[in-house]
């Protein structure tokens, strides 16, 4: 339902000017995100998947205004985030947080775990000092850490425990929306399952909404309600999780599913396709469909005309001429 949408992204673009090749030539533009649109309903998780360099993480950072959008709208609970400035944006950050990929480099090695989790409360001046200490203890319990561990430094924790600290920090201000930027990719398989189960539990208990960024489709299948597949800054397929895994319609999605290194349902359902060659340079993108240089089904139309993201069947959007 439309009134149940928490975040709506319309034609989001993030372009970067890079170093010019010579003094007399203009600075090239890197099209990191180039016209992305999607909605996320309250309490739902949207999975954003694709190869490294396709623009997934930049999309997540742009949603939180950690990188500035070049164009487009980001409507969060009726408020246009792109138009917010200084104090208005700072106040809105209470409702939006992020969990980064590397749980070690995203923590201050000189701070204790308790102080790391308490930082957002201090910055936003939430409650009294006693209330903040009580909140930190509550958060440690919520993510499965002990009271005594508040006094430890990040290097004294395992990778999974460090990611629990990052999750506790993200939850400190009671946010509505969390960007999870590959939160389990740096962890072992057994620890991945623990963190995913924790994220699912927190979503159910706290009513959280996630943008879950990953290159691992098996992980996305476990936690997400909807999936959007990105390629070279654009969404090429979007559907409910079950629909997309049962019936992938874009050749790139089919290639991603065929590459899942497991004997899971998605592996058995996927057509045995492979993406040919390497992903093109996002500065010098191919003409027409960006995927035509790697696609097994390429026709002349694919080389000349960009496909639009169209709802081919109810609830299933695909950008493919075929």
Q: For residue 61, is it within any domain?
A: yes
pLDDT at 69 over 50: yes
**Of residues 3, 4, 7, the one with CA closest to residue 211:** 7
Q: For residue 103, is it within any domain?
A: yes
Q: For residue 243, is it within any domain?
A: yes
pLDDT at 273 over 90: no
Per residue in 156-191, pLDDT tens? 999 899 999 999 999 999 999 999 999 888 788 888
Cβ neighbours for 33, distance < 8 A, ≥ 6 positions apart: 12, 13, 14, 55, 58, 59, 62, 233
The pLDDT confidence band at residue 268, using thresholds 50, 70 and 90, is very low
pLDDT at 7 over 90: yes
Q: For residue 319, is it within any domain?
A: no
Q: For residue 151, is it within any domain?
A: yes
Sheet with 5-17: list strands edge to edge.
29-41, 5-17, 71-76, 79-80
Q: For residue 83, is it within any domain?
A: yes
> How many domains, the chain?
1
Range of the domain at 166: 2-250
Q: For residue 288, is it within any domain?
A: no
Whole-model pTM: value is 0.89
Per residue in 223-241, pLDDT tens? 999 999 999 999 999 999 9
Q: For residue 146, is it within any domain?
A: yes
Residue 2 in tokens:
């439309």
**Of residues 213, 211, 294, the one with CA closest to residue 255:** 294
CATH of the domain at 182: 3.40.50.300
What pLDDT is stored for residue 261 in this prediction? 64
What pLDDT is stored for residue 35 in this prediction? 92
């Amino acid at each position: 339902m439309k009134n149940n949408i928490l975040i709506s992204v319309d034609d989001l673009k993030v372009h970067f000017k890079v170093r010019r090749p010579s003094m007399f030539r203009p600075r090239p533009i890197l099209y990191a995100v180039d016209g992305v649109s999607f909605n996320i309903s309250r309490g739902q998780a949207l999975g954003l998947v694709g190869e490294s360099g396709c623009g997934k993480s930049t999309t997540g950072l742009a949603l939180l205004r950690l990188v500035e959008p070049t164009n487009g709208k980001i409507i969060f609970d009726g408020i246009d985030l792109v138009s917010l400035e200084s104090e208005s944006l700072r106040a809105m950050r209470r409702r939006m947080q992020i969990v980064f990929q590397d749980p070690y480099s995203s923590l201050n090695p000189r701070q204790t775990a308790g102080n790391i989790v308490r930082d957002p409360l201090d910055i936003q001046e939430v409650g009294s000092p006693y209330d903040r200490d009580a909140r930190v203890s509550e958060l440690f319990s919520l993510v499965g850490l002990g009271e005594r561990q508040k006094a430890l430094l990040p290097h004294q924790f395992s990778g999974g425990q460090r990611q629990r600290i990052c999750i506790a920090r993200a939850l400190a201000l009671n946010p509505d929306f969390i960007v999870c930027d590959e939160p389990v990719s740096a962890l072992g398989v057994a620890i991945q399952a623990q963190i995913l189960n924790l994220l699912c539990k927190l979503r159910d208990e706290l009513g959280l909404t996630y943008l879950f960024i990953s290159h691992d489709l098996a992980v996305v299948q476990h936690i997400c309600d909807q999936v959007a597949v990105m390629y070279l800054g654009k969404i090429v397929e979007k559907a409910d999780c079950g629909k997309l895994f049962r019936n992938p319609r874009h050749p790139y999605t089919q290639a991603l599913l065929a590459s899942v290194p497991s004997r899971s349902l998605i592996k058995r359902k996927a057509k045995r396709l492979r993406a040919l060659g390497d992903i093109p340079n996002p500065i010098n993108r191919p003409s027409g469909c960006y995927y035509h240089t790697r696609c097994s089904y390429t026709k002349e139309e694919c080389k000349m005309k960009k496909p639009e993201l169209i709802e081919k069947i109810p609830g299933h959007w695909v950008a493919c001429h075929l």
